[in-house]
Structure 1
Amino acid sequence: MAEEKRFNVDSEKIKKAALAGVPLSLTTYVLPHEMELYMSDVLSCFLESLGQSHMTDYLVYCLNELATNAKKANTKRIYFLEKNLDINNPADYEEGMKTFKKDMLEKLTYYLEKQRDAGLYIKVIFSARNNNIKLEVRNNSELNVFEYKRIHDKICRAHTYSNMNEALDKIVDDTEGAGLGLILMILMLKKIGLTDESYQIFVENNETVVRVELPFLDKRSKEFDIISQELVNLIEELPPFPENIVEINRLIADPDSDMAEIAMFINNDVALAADLIKMVNSAAFRPANPVQNVYSAVKMVGLDGLRNLLFSLGTFKLLGENTEEKRQMWVHAYKVAFFSHNIACSFCANDKAVMADAYVCGLLHDIGKVIFTTTHNDTMRHLIAVTQQKKIPLQVIEQMISGTNHEILGARIAEKWNFPESIIVSIKYHHSPEEAPEQYKKLAALIALANQICNYLDGKDTFQQISHSCKEMFGLNNEMQFRSLAEKLNMLFQRAEEKIN
């Protein structure tokens, strides 16, 4: 038997992307067999890099099934156009589906070339965030109501079967050519953690999107927790939070304290007073007239706002910007904070809690990354020793250092420093806002959106990679709306920077 032709896979590039949490995207127009093999090889390498090889057989089957269905959906559009049938008309749809499968198989090459000419594509995206694997298959043929009903029926049927043998014994309608395969796929994925919420199919930005999200193996999640805790315990550069700020926060929490007393206490620390006035006069707050003293600053931001600004100042004082890498991280953080504050003003003006927390949560969202840059070689050697002692794969440290799980570490550090719950939650879930506790979902989504807008403007993220829950929550239904918001925020930021400078 002749050996199958396969494209070369750049395993180092895939590993680097997987560990850094960067989505991998592959696009094809006709999905030839060589591309199917290549997609499977990339997915296998991706999962191996994350220590999730146990998912490979299941997700490769899932990928092939979904990509094939997407290709058939595109072919169907061409077929209906050729037959002068309206795919959204019930009678035409029923008529066309009687002969679609037979005619497609007889003239497959012809229809595939036609769909290439029409620009109909299949796009596959792999990503990993917050101990979850995400697989998306997109095609630019919008799902119609008849297709959605058939797919929904197959998914509902799959949940009634206890195993694959039971499903195989049933008679499945195959007029769509995607009956039994979809049911088997759902049954297979349930074995590795699929829930009703983690399989989604929807239309977005003129694309049909099928999204599958699966949790890492429980063992790997526990390994991340062990290393995160070790890192928190070991970084000697992280002293207790500055006592003067802790004392001011005690005053803020004391119902018998007033603004004048708190302002007087802050004035006793000349450096802190100067930093506070500077921050209140920064681009995000844009006071009509420059704030000249601490009392005016406290009055302007309120006690909750003051508390949050003090957490920001204390964090910056402890972590600093003594390297170029740290400086760039803080530049990004300030921009995210500015965007967060302005998004809150536009979309959440009546939500006092979100308004109070938006700026500081945006500023502190990446402290896990900043902390990684503070880690010395001695600490790394200790962590490696821990992995050997507890038989934890070295990939766990590699993945955390690459940034994929920096949010876990950041949240743990915030807990150690007794930050408010809102800040801890926004740090922990800024890459997965849909998983945040209900009370903080809007705040987490806002920080996630601000962060993704920054990455979009820097060319690091595409519109397709923006969180679906963020787009839905803030009514960003297409890329034009999203780009308009991003450009408006960027313009405001540049103007504010020019005004300050």
Structure 2
Amino acid sequence: MKNWISRLRGGSDNTADTKAAPAAAEADEHPGGIPAEIEATYYRWLTASSGYDASDAVQTAILDQVRALARDPASAAELVPRVPEVIPQLLRSLQDEASNADLARQVAQDVVLVAEVIREANSAYYRPMSPVKTVEAALMMLGQNGLRMLLARVAFRPIIKLQTTGFTRLAAPHVWAQSEKCALAASLMAPGLTAGAFEAYLSGLMQNLGLVVGFRLADRLCEENKVPGSSEFGAQLLAEGRLLSAAIAKHWDFPQEVADAIAHAGDAGDENLAQALALGDRIAKLRMLIDSHVIDEDDDFVTDGLDNFQRRCLGKLGTVES
């Protein structure tokens, strides 16, 4: 078990006996420091059961195809289901206070959404004093922004968790769970960075779409149910996947700021929304690694990589069920 965790933490890709080093020391091996080491550990965990030593030619072919699709987002969008019309409707309603009543009526007319809204209001995240049983009470508990976030999540779920084959089928549930947690964490980070909470939430839900497309391409080029397992390839695929996600977001007429945040979350820069997304993504990946028993709550990734507020957000994500 320790050897397996050691490999996830950044040891040799092919050596099972590599001893784990402290995260702070390992971070020196990566120009991006702890954030880059978290990315590498997350990718190793995500591909642990299916990663293999792919040839340079295969790795290059996958990354080249992802880059090509980023330049042709219409073709990329054909590889995933179209985002439901509810998302553009939600985006158009952001500044329209009157539309909130219309959204509430739409919920009441849809049995699936009624169940989702009531389940959300009764979740550990909201912790109601007594069980919520009606749509009206649930909507009051969620609030306008909470309702928009829930509807966006319901709409995105089948897009990320699309039914497919190969490694993508195995990875999609984990990628979706991380997307949900990233969206919530980014929305919690946004106010402190003077960024929009709902825009941050949408960015978190959307940013992994390119990664899913990348895995689908890998399924065509790799051995059965396999994907390149090296952390170097993983870092490139995660980065190129974000750029592809941004291109698809623009193609789907998402707000420019959402697409820009996704494109620049890897470097964060000076853009507030990109910073919120980058922090949310890091916190969500740590939550996934902790819940999978790859790292502990007091790991250096957490104690050295997050401030007090971010650690509280990490704890809050522990109440979120996918």
Q: Structure 1 length as normaliser, TM-score?
A: 0.40
1:416 maps to 251
Moved over 6 A (4+): 13-17, 221-224, 398-401, 463-466, 483-487
Q: Give 2:78's match in structure 1, choosing from 222, 229, 236.
A: 236
Describe the superposition over 1:388-435 as per-residue Cα deviations: whole angstroms up to 9, x where unpaired: xxxxxxxxxx779843411111112222223334543443233221x2
Cα offset for 1:327? Answer: 0.8
1:184 maps to none
SS in 2 for 1:403: helix
What residue identity is the alignment partner of 1:432? D
Task: Work out the CA distance in 1 between the residues paired with 2:78 and 2:310.
Answer: 39
Task: Work out the CA distance in 2 between the residues paired with 1:234 and 1:424.
Answer: 15
Describe the superposition over 1:200-248 as per-residue Cα deviations: whole angstroms up to 9, x where unpaired: xxxxxxxxxxxxxxxxxxxxx9997534234651453424322355445
Q: Which has the higher strand share?
A: 1
Q: 1:228 to 1:26 in 2, by over 3 A?
A: farther
2:18 corresponds to 1:125: no
2:213 maps to 371
Q: Give 1:263's match in structure 2, choosing from 104, 110, 113.
A: 104
State the aligned residue count: 262
Q: Structure 2 length as normaliser, TM-score?
A: 0.58
Q: Is the 8 A contact 2:80 2:159 kept in 1?
A: yes
Task: Work out the CA distance in 1 between the residues paired with 2:209 and 2:78.
Answer: 16
Q: Is the 8 A contact 1:276 1:297 kept in 2?
A: yes
1:407 maps to 242
Gaps of 5+ in 2: 1-9, 15-19, 37-62, 164-168, 223-232
The Cα RMSD (Å) is: 5.0
Q: Is the 8 A contact 1:426 1:447 kept in 2?
A: no
Q: Is the 8 A contact 1:291 1:297 kept in 2?
A: yes
Describe the superposition over 1:21-57 as per-residue Cα deviations: whole angstroms up to 9, x where unpaired: xxxx999xxxxxxxxxxxxxxxxxxxxxxxxxxxxxx
Task: Work out the CA distance in 1 between the residues paired with 2:174 and 2:146.
Answer: 25
Cα offset for 1:330? Answer: 1.8
Describe the superposition over 1:280-320 as per-residue Cα deviations: whole angstroms up to 9, x where unpaired: 54444444455444444444444444334333221212332
SS in 1 for 2:254: coil
What residue identity is the alignment partner of 1:443? A
- Please give the residue correspondences for 1:307-326 in structure 2 after superposition, counting only pairs within 5 Å: 307-320=148-161, 322=163, 323-326=169-172
Q: 1:274 to 1:421 in 2, by over 3 A?
A: farther
1:327 maps to 173
Task: Work out the CA distance in 2 between the residues paired with 1:431 and 1:460.
Answer: 22
Task: Work out the CA distance in 2 between the residues paired with 1:444 and 1:274.
Answer: 29
Cα offset for 1:487? Answer: 6.2
1:440 maps to 273
Between 1 and 2, higher relative CO (CA 8 Å, sep ≥ 6) is seen in 2
Q: Is the 8 A contact 1:368 1:408 kept in 2?
A: yes
Q: 1:465 to 1:440 in 2, by over 3 A?
A: farther
Give the structure with higher Rg (CA).
1
What residue identity is the alignment partner of 1:333? S
SS in 1 for 2:29: strand
Task: Work out the CA distance in 1 between the residues paired with 2:159 and 2:96.
Answer: 29
What residue identity is the alignment partner of 2:150? L
Task: Work out the CA distance in 2 between the residues paired with 1:264 and 1:339.
Answer: 28
